[in-house]
Structures are given as structure tokens and as C-alpha cells.
Chain A
Amino acid sequence: MLFVKRLSSLYQRRRERWITRRHPRVEQQRIDKRRIYILPTAACAGFILLLLVMLLLAINYENNLIYGLTFLLVSVLLVSMVHTHNNLRDTLVSSRGHVSVYAGEKTRYRVHIRAPEHPVVGLNLSYQGGETAVVTLGAGDELTVELTAAAGQRGRHHPGILRLSARYPMGLFRAWSYVNLGQQAWIYPKPEPGGELPPSAAQSDTGLTEVVGNEEFSGLQEYQPGMPLGRVAWGTLARGLPLQVKEFTEPVGDSRWLRWSFWPELGGEERYSRLCYWVLRLEREGKPFGLELPSKTLPVASGQAQVQAALLALAQEGSHDSQQRSVDDE
């Protein structure tokens, strides 16, 4: 049993490697007729069984009308094969980046589909380990689809080869194709709550000026996208005023540093998870922070851009090309 399992997994790996070798990485791919594979489905086996039963009726009862109906079904089978092949043909597939996720969640990628001068009906798109998305496009229509792929570890993730398939119009054949869009995503560490930050005073520089902070309410300001939702003044919104956020002042010295060296008792991945949790918590509280990692240091700042940069740094830390610009970072 184990042997069979191992054999099948070996076959799977070999197959994946073969497919990857045959389909080099591209930004965008037109599914031309040489890239479409087609084979009969299980429904086709049932259909052929039906044809045999009808042929037997025709022969034994010498009934030419049943012969005719059988031949009509055979012809429809052949014609539908051409249609199934054509349905997929000339579809344009391109990459549209990814949606960032935390470790343990299913990774999500965006793929853009453009139909040629004919409709593409019942197109199934999937990455290995992800769910299948079914889309139907009219002639010349375009659509961006978000696809899930297998969950991954912190760091860089490749979803592998994109599979496209369709059984339209009669389900008797399945046409499919592989596209290697070379998509990849950085997976953030999984946030793990716990630990305490050392008191901010202990780590502060001398702060004289007051900057926008946490401590004292200083007024209302118009909401801009990216501001923490925790500080939205819901009360004023209820009174019919535009969306506003409460503003607090805080001494600069109260800013926090998140350091790799804080929790020496934790192992590597756990430490990333702890740091990730604190990044998100400080973002929720609206406090500015800086991040210090063995190979990278982010200066103190606040806002969405800082959070994104911090999460990305946490994802990239430790991978061999962590110093490089992240790909797909759009």
C-alpha cells in the first residue's frame, strides 16, 4: 500500500516536472491550438455504451431508423470534439499579481483572462491544491479571477502551473492546457499572540516634539484611505458628517521598536510569528513603530505603508534573496 502511494507520488512529481519543463515561464500566454490537450471523459464512456446498446437494437431489429439515430449520435460526438477544442483556443491568460496571505492560509493569485473572438464557456481555472474557479466569457470579454492555491510556509511561494480546462459543449471531451505564469507571492508569518514589549521609555530616544500619537485627543481630521479604522469617529458619522478620524498627540519618544532580539527563548519561525502579531497589534492601536531584523531595519513610522513594509520584511527575512526587490510587489 505504502509502496503504491510512494509510486504514485513519484509519478505525480515526475509529471509536474515534465509539465514544468514543457511550459517555460511567461508573463502572458495565448492558448493556441498546439497547447490544447483533449481526451474523452467518463461521460463519453457512458455515451459510447449508449451507442453500443442502440447499435445492438438496430442490428437485431434490422431497424434502419435506429441505425440513423445511432449514426447521428456518433456524428454529434465527433463534431462536439472539435467544438470542445475550439472553446479553449486563443484565450489569453496573463498574471495580475497576488493577494498577500499569512502562513497556513490558502495562497491567492490573480489571473487575467481575455476571450478571443468567440465566447469561452465553462472555463475551469485552478492551481494545484486550490479551488477551481469556473468562468464564462463572451466574445472579447476580459475578467480578472482570484484563484486559491495550496497553503504555504512563510517566505516565497510558487503556485506552480496554472491549469485551464473546459468540457463545453457536451461534456464528452475535456480540453485542457497548462500555463506557467511564474506567479509568486511572499507569505507573511502566521501571527501568534503573546509576549510583552519592553516599556517604551526604556528604548526611547529623547523626544521633544510632539507628533501625531496615541496619548492625548487633539481633534478630528478628515479620513484618508489607510488610516486605522479603530480611530474613526463613528459618532460624528452618525450625525451626518463626513468620515473623520480622531487625532491624538503623543511624544515622539513613545514610538516603539520591534526587535528580533526581544524574545530569545523562541525559535526562529515562532519569533517571526510573534513579531508579526505585534506589527498588526500596533497597527490596530495606531502606534508608530520601527522594525529591526538581522538583515534589515525599518525606521519608525506609522500607517499602512509601514505595516506592508514590515510584513514583507518579515516574510523575506531569512530567504536567500531577501535583499532583492520582491517580485510581484505591485
Chain B
Amino acid sequence: MMNNWLTPRALNWQLAALWAAVLPHLLILPLWSTLMLVACSGVRIQIYRGIWRFPPWYVKLALLGLLWLGLIFSFDRDTLMRGTVALLIGGSAFKLLEIHTRRDALVIIYLSYLLIAIQFLFEQGILSGLYALVAFAVVMGSQVALFDPRLRAPLPSLRNTFKLILPALPMMVLLFLLIPRIGPLWSVPLDTGAAATGLSDSVSPGDISSMTRSDELAFRAGFDGPVPANSQRYWRALVYSDFDGRSWSLSKRLGRPLETVNNPLGRFSYEIIMEPSHRPWLPVLDVPLSVQGADLRGARQAVSKSPIDKRSSYRVTSASRFELQSELDAGARERNLAFPTDQNLRTQALALQWWQEADADLEIYIRRIATHFNQSFVYTLQPPLLGANSVDQFLFESQRGFCGHFAGATALMLRAAGVPARLVGGYQGGEYNAGAGYLTVRQWDAHAWVEYHDVERGWVRFDPTAAVAPERIEQSAEDLFADQPGFLADRPLSPLRFTNSGWLLEARRAIDALNFSWHRWVLNYQNQQTDLLRSLLGEITPVRMALALLIPGALIMGFVGFNLRPRRSKDALIRAQQRFERVAAGLGYKRQPSETLGELARRLKTQYSEISPALDLLAFIEQRMRYSPDEVDRAELIRALNRVAKDLRRESMKVSRQNALASLKSSKERDAGSTGR
């Protein structure tokens, strides 16, 4: 088609659209993709200014080769998705060099839409959602500019874009709420670029000299009922059973049997929205009875089917009062008693000594350990490095450490005394957001404690850190560590450093609540959809769903059409003129396409001579307006038009009344005639 060529303004729009869509991607892609886009945009601008010509085919081929090399060197199988994005961006950049017609421009615009969508695979915060909306408006504006040949008028085009977007937003909300979500059709890869944070596969306290704690969010938990007390909030995630003398690690042996829970009482349910941890373990509260979308494995670990690579949520039901099976099979017993006997000899000796002094009474023994810790030990985030026999060194020399030290030493002492024991890693506590009714657990809440096996009660939780720093359990980690040098050491400017009190805290909590709602109602809407729809529609049937979609949808579309309906002109002169024409047409004097108002008035005068002064005036003013518009007030013409319209209407009524009288008279005469006959 001939009219397929682009206006220069449309080209500017396209550059803006592509950059808006691509900008967030460029921040995480290698530098060469930015350079490529800058270069291609520059060439495009030069072509547009008429300085350069479109590049020949071999230049394009060379560029394609460069892109291919870049993709091969920068990306591998783990970063397949980013590589795809880089490929898409490269493709759009090259397309910039060969935009000739509208169709070429549409390719870029469609790619921009797609790039905005793909950005959501990497980032799903509120801000990135808002940014995407802005970028979307720009891309749409560029599409509208393609089909709007009005040059040098960016504002009308922008306004028309908003006229399209604004009614589309309620429609989008409607579709979002009602369209049922289905599970993935096939499994898809997602980049695991970020390093795993928080919990790790092993704990070796002696190797850490400085424990930095980050304020990064670990997960949020919303409770259906009351929130458990802080001292009960032990979120278990990992169980470390293997001890090599220095570090505790996850058991290599799989298929540990799950302990049977007898008589669970005080059930409570909660929903956890987990941040990406890139690991499959899910924190749960004791004692977990069921976890939606995950398996409960041995040692009451909840394991999801695949690593948590994106924010996801799951529901857990736990019981607050319970009895665990008390038997321990031989294999598990052996595993939870094993330790290298040639290391940490002083600890072993002390354990045996205390065990004998306690008369093999587990309770007294445990209390003794706790008392010992409470006497001279210091809880710190910056413990000294420990050499070989790290537990000996901790217990008898440094006596300074964090939860990993205390838990590890306690577990070893229990094992040395012949009590099966293991380390549990997870989170403790969490900040309660009263306004929104949920708990926020951050990485600094990471914690480790001990579980030992009691012959009567089964596995029992014991937290030795509570003995040395009970406030660690009673207060939040934030309140406790704020003075410690290691706290937030990696985030010197973290807002959490300054927002410990007052309105800043309130504001922080409000923002956090907003984020929580965003995650719950937008990002994980599929979990709420059924409940919401049931509460709205009563019962979910295909008919009700269709009606719920069609009725508001029709209302919105009707509103769009109503908004675009032909409106009465705002110009009083045009309105007066239309009224005059309407009245004249009603009397059989339709204004001809080439007829001036004056001519129409003269034509009317032949029949309606009674109002000829008004008609003459109209013709005169109209003529004067044509030839010397400055001398005539528009108001004068409007007045003349209105007056003529009014007079005409009166005349026509008079005429019709006379006609009616005449017909009445003639019919009377006819009647008279007929009776006379």
C-alpha cells in the first residue's frame, strides 16, 4: 500500500518505546547489549536526519555474527532466559536499521510488548509493576502514532492513547479476577543467577569470624487465627544430623522415616509467602501436620517439589500440642549418636563427667548445660575463629559465639553422653505487623537449635541460645542486635538501621503491608481466586462465570461507546445554525449542500412573508459576516438565527392551526351538505 510509510514522529515514538521496554533488562544484561542498542539507535537517528543511508546487507550480516558471538560467550544453560532476552533485544535493535514501512515498525512494537512481559519473570515488585504500566503506555502511544498521520502533535496522540488505556484498565481487572488459572503446561527453566542466601546445607561455627546479618526478607506468614507467641515461633527448615567434628551437615542418607504424631491438638493454619531461596526447604512451625504443595519428609522437614526460584506461597496446618512417637529405630539412633571420637576430647570428657553427676537424668543434665552457658558465655555476632577441636576451644577458651556455636556444642555434649541429638536450622521469631495481621521474617532471624531424643517424649526441642541470651528469643533479632557491630554490616545504608521507632517504623510497616497485599492479591492471586469468586458469586458455575464476565464487560464497552457518541457541538453558533436548519427542514425547506444561510432565508421568504424582516436581517448579517467578518459580532448572527427559528416555529404552528380549522370547516360543510340532501 502506498500510505504505509512512516512519519518522522512515529519513528521518534518507536525509539522511545523500545528504550522504555528494554531499560530494566539492560540493567542486568551484559554491557555489550546496551552498547549495541545505543549504536543502532544512533544509526537510526542519523538515517532519519538524512545523513546516513540504510546499511547494506553485509553490515547487517556482520552485526548478526557479532550478536551470535556475544550470546555464546555471555550466556550458558543456566542463564538461558537472559540469553533469550538479549537475543530479542538484539533483534529489535537490528530491526531499527531496516524500518521502512508500518509493518516493520509493528514488529518492533510487538517485541517491546513482549519484553515488558518478560521483565516480570525477573522482577515482580510494585514499583516494577508501575514502571511496566508506564512503559506500556509509551509503547501503545508509539503504535497509535503509526496510524495517526497528524504531524507535530504529540499531545492529541497521547490523549487518544489514554482514551484507549483508561477504559481498558477496569476490563483488565475484570479479566484478571475471573479468568481461571491453569497449571503450567510444561516445566520451564528459570535462571538461578542469585546466590542462595540464608540457610545453608551445613553449619560450621568455627569457620566464621563475623556473622553479618542482612535485612533481606525471608518470608511472610499470615495466620488464620491468633499468632503464636514469639518464644514459640521456631520455624524449622533443615535438620543437620551428620557431624564430622567441625561442621554439621544434612544427612546424606535419604528416606528418613517421618515421626508419627499422636493426638495432635490445637491445630492452626497459616499461609507462608516465601521469597526465592533457590532451595526446596520450607520453614514450618512445630508440629507440621500437612503442607500444601510440598512433602513432609523425615525429621519433619517440609520439602517442595522444586527449588523456590520465585516468590511462592504455601499453606501449612500445624498443631501446637502434640505427642511424638517415642521409639527410635536403630539406624536413626546410631546416626544421631555418631561423632568423631578422636576430636574434642575435653568436651567428651566433660560430657561424661556431667552425665554421671546427673545420674543419667536427662533433665538435670540439660539444665546443667544451660546453667553453664548462662554463667560465663557471651552471645556475639563476631566470635573469634576457632582452630582444630573447635568445640573444645569454644567451651573452654573463647566462650563467645552465636547460635550455631551454642547449638553445635550442646548437640555434641548430648551425643557424647549417649543421647541422640541433632541440629535444626531455620528461623526464630519474626516481626508482627499488627495492621495487616501477619509476620515478617527476615534473614537476620535465621537461627539454629538442638533436638534431642527423650525415651518417653520422642524428639524434644532445646534452644541453648535462650540460656545465654534469653532476650534473643523474647525480643526480635532487630531489637537485640542493633548495637552489635555485625548487625547489618553489609548494608550500611539500610533504612532499617534508622527506623527503629516512631512514625518511620509505622511507615515501614505500612509499606510492608502494601507489599504483602500485593503478593497475596496480585502475585499469588491463584490461591485466593476460588475463595474470592465463591464469596462473590456464591457458587462457581460456568453460567455464573460467563454472566459475571459478560455483564460488567458489556457495561464497560457500552461506556466506551457512550463516551464516543456524537455530541452536541460546544459552539453556540453551530448549535443555533443547526436549530434553524432543523426547523426549516421541518417546513420542507431542507438546506441544500451548496446553499448559504442567506439563500435559504430568501427561499423561505417566498412562503413566510410575515416574518420577512427577521429573514432579511438574517440574510444581511450572514452576508456581511462573509465579506467583512470584523464588523459583525458572532452574537448578532446567533441572535438572528434564534429569532428566525422561533418565528418560523410560530408561523408553522399558525399555519397548521389554520389548516386544521379549514379542514374542520370543510368537513362540517360536507356534513351539512350530506344532512341537507
Indicate which residue in B120, B188, B524, B557 contacts A60 across the interface (CB closer than 8 Å): B188
Cα A76 to Cα B165 in complex, Å, equals 6
Q: B175, A74: Cβ atoms under 8 Å?
A: yes
B480 interface contact, C-beta 8 A = no
Q: How many angstroms between the C-alpha atoms of A94 and B595 in the bound complex? A: 14
Q: B574 to chain A: which residues have CB within 8 Å?
A: 140
**Quick one: CB contact mask for B312-352 with A, threshold 8 Å, 1 for yes?**
00000000000000000000000000000000000000000
**Interface residue? B171 (CB, 8 A):** yes
Q: Are B182 and A59 in contact (CB under 8 A)?
A: yes
* Residues of chain A within 8 A of B310, CB atoms compared: 61, 63
In the complex, A72→B167 CA distance in Å? 10
CB <8 Å contact, A121 and B148: yes
Question: Judging by beta carbons under 8 Å apart, are A75 and B169 in contact?
Answer: yes
* Chain A residue nearest in CB terms to B113: A50
Bound state CA distance, A237 and B310, in angstroms?
A: 85
Choice from B102, B148, B593 contacting A168 with Cβ under 8 Å: B148
Complex: A138 Cα to B207 Cα, angstroms: 76
Chain B residues with Cβ below 8 Å from A170 are 140, 143-144, 147, 164
Which residues on the B side are within 8 Å of A131 (C-beta)? 2
B140-161, CB under 8 A of A: which get 1 and which 0? 1001101111100000100011
A94 B593 Cβ-Cβ under 8 A: yes
Choose among A69, A134, A136 the residue that contacts B116 (Cβ–Cβ < 8 A).
Answer: A69
Q: Is the CB of A171 within 8 A of B106?
A: yes
With A and B bound together, what is the CA distance between A282 and B575 in angstroms? Answer: 54
Q: Which residue of B lies closest to A166 (CB)?
A: B147
B273 → chain A closest CB, angstroms: 13
Q: Identify which of residues 240-287 in chain A touch chain B, using a CB-to-CB cut-off of 8 Å.
A: none
B460 within 8 A of A: no
Q: Cβ of A215 < 8 Å from any Cβ of B?
A: no
A97-134 at interface with B (beta carbon < 8 Å): 116-119, 121-122, 124, 131-132, 134
Answer yes or no: B38 CB below 8 A from chain A CBs: no
How far, in angstroms, from A89 to B164 measured CA to CA in the complex? Answer: 18
- Does A322 sit within 8 A of B, measured CB to CB? no
Q: Is B186 an interface residue (CB 8 A)?
A: yes
Q: Find A61's partner among B143, B184, B524 (CB 8 Å cutoff).
A: B184
Q: Which residues of A contact B172 (CB under 8 A)?
A: 68, 71-72, 74-75
9-residue interface stretch from B448-456, B558-566, B643-651: B558-566
Q: Which of B118, B171, B182 contacts A78 (CB 8 A)?
A: B171
Contact call A89/B124, Cβ cutoff below 8 A:
no
B129 touches A65 (CB 8 A): yes
A136 in contact with B114 (CB, 8 Å): no
**Interface presence of A28 (CB below 8 A):** yes
Residues of chain B in range 461-477 having any CB-CB distance to chain A below 8 Å: none
A61-B188 CB under 8 A given contacts A76-B140, A117-B567, A171-B146: yes
Total interface residues on A, CB under 8 Å, equals 55
- Nearest residue (CB) in B for A135 is B149
A305 to chain B, nearest CB (A): 22
* A59 in contact with B185 (CB, 8 Å): yes
B566 lies within 8 A of A116 (CB):
yes
- Given A132-B3, A170-B164: A54 touches B114 (CB 8 Å cut-off): yes
Measured between beta carbons, the chain B residues less than 8 angstroms from A66 are 117, 120-121
Determine the distance from Cα of A118 to Cα of B185 in the docked complex, in whole angstroms: 47
Contact B120 A78 (CB under 8 A): no
Contact of B560 among A47, A79, A169 (CB under 8 A): A79
Q: Could you mark each residue 71-88 of chain A with 1 if its beta carbon is under 8 Å from any beta carbon of chain B, else 0?
A: 111111011101100100
Determine how close the nearest CB of chain B comes to the CB of A268; give it in whole angstroms: 37
Whole-angstrom CA separation of A126 from B537 in the bound complex: 52
Residues of A within 8 A of B156 (CB): 119
B41 vs chain A, min Cβ distance (A): 23
Does B432 have its Cβ within 8 Å of any Cβ on chain A? no
CA distance A169 to B163 in the complex (A): 10
- Does A57 sit at the interface, judged by CB under 8 A? yes
Known: A68-B172, A79-B560, A124-B3. A171 touches B143 (CB 8 A): yes
B491 contacts partner chain A, Cβ-Cβ < 8 Å:
no
Distance in Å: Cβ of B108 to nearest Cβ of chain A: 12
Nearest A residue (CB) for B129: A65
CA distance A79 to B562 in the complex (A): 12
Report A-chain residues with C-beta under 8 Å of the C-beta of B165: 76
From residue 93 to 128 of chain B, which have CB atoms closer than 8 A to chain A?
Answer: 102-103, 106, 110, 113-114, 116-118, 120-121, 124
* Contact across chains for B148 and A122 when beta carbons are under 8 A apart: yes
What's the least CB distance linking A170 to chain B, in Å?
5
Determine the residue in chain A with the shortest Cβ distance to B161.
A169
B147 touches A171 (CB 8 A): yes
Alpha-carbon separation in the docked complex, A76 to B161 (Å) = 10
In the assembled complex, the Cα of A57 lies from the Cα of B119 at a distance in Å of 11
Tell me how far the C-beta of B631 lies from the nearest C-beta in chain A, rounded to whole angstroms.
24
Known: A54-B117, A82-B561. A62 touches B146 (CB 8 A): no
Residues A169 and B120 in contact, CB atoms below 8 Å apart: no
Give complex CA distance A86, B562 in Å: 11
Determine if B181 is an interface residue (Cβ-Cβ < 8 Å): yes
Residues of chain B lying within 8 A (CB to CB) of residue A76:
140, 164-165, 168
Choice from A47, A75, A168, A169 contacting B171 with Cβ under 8 Å: A75
Q: Are B110 and A47 in touch, CB under 8 angstroms?
A: yes
**Interface membership of B132, Cβ < 8 A:** yes
Given the complex of chains A and B, what is the CA–CA distance between A82 and B176 in angstroms?
Answer: 21
Pair B120/A132 contact, Cβ less than 8 Å: no
CB neighbours (8 Å) of A61 from chain B are: 121, 184, 188, 190, 310
User: Are B167's CB and A79's CB within 8 A?
Assistant: yes
Q: Does B523 contact A (CB under 8 A)?
A: yes
B607 within 8 A of A: no
Could you tell me the distance in whole angstroms from the C-beta of A150 to the nearest C-beta in chain B? 16
A167 proximal to B (CB < 8 A)? yes
- Known contacts A121-B148, A140-B569, A170-B147: A83-B120 contact under CB 8 Å: no
CA–CA, A122 and B156, complex, Å: 14
Query: Which of chain A's residues have a CB closer than 8 A to the CB of B147?
Result: 121-122, 167-171
Complex contacts, B175 vs chain A, CB 8 Å: 71, 74-75
The answer to the question of B1 belonging to the interface, with a C-beta cut-off of 8 Å to chain A, is yes
Check A121 against B114 for contact (C-beta < 8 Å).
Answer: no
Chain A neighbourhood of B560, CB < 8 A: 79, 82-83
Tell me if B248 counts as interface (CB < 8 A to partner A): no
Instruction: Check A169–B160 contact: CB distance below 8 A.
Output: yes
Alpha-carbon separation in the docked complex, A119 to B150 (Å): 11
Q: Is the CB of B176 within 8 A of A136?
A: no
Chain A residue contacts of B146, Cβ below 8 A: 171
- Residues in B with CB closer than 8 Å to A65 are 120, 124, 129, 132, 522-523
Known: A60-B188, A121-B148, A134-B3. A80 touches B164 (CB 8 A): yes
Interface assignment of B502: CB less than 8 Å from any CB of chain A: no
Judge whether B179 is part of the interface by a CB distance below 8 angstroms: yes
Question: B176–A71 contact, CB under 8 A?
Answer: yes
Could you say which of B2, B164, B190, B522 contacts A169, with CB atoms under 8 Å apart? B164
In the bound complex, how far is the Cα of B2 from the Cα of A124, in angstroms? 11
Asked if B183 is at the interface (CB within 8 A of a chain A CB), the reply is yes
A53: B residues at CB distance < 8 A: 114
Q: What residues make up the interface of B, taking CB atoms closer than 8 Å to A?
A: 1-3, 102-103, 106, 110, 113-114, 116-118, 120-121, 124, 129, 132, 136, 140, 143-144, 146-150, 156, 160-161, 163-165, 167-169, 171-172, 175-176, 179, 181-188, 190, 310, 522-526, 557, 560-561, 564, 566-569, 574, 593
Other than the given A60-B186, A69-B120, 18 more pairs (CB < 8 A) read A43-B106, A59-B181, A61-B121, A61-B188, A64-B524, A65-B522, A66-B120, A76-B140, A78-B171, A79-B171, A83-B163, A83-B560, A117-B567, A117-B569, A121-B149, A124-B3, A169-B160, A170-B164
6 A-B pairs within 8 Å (CB atoms) are namely A28-B593, A54-B117, A61-B190, A65-B523, A79-B167, A94-B593
Top 8 A-B residue pairs of the complex, sorted by shortest distance between their CB atoms: A75-B171, A75-B168, A71-B175, A65-B120, A72-B172, A86-B564, A71-B172, A60-B184
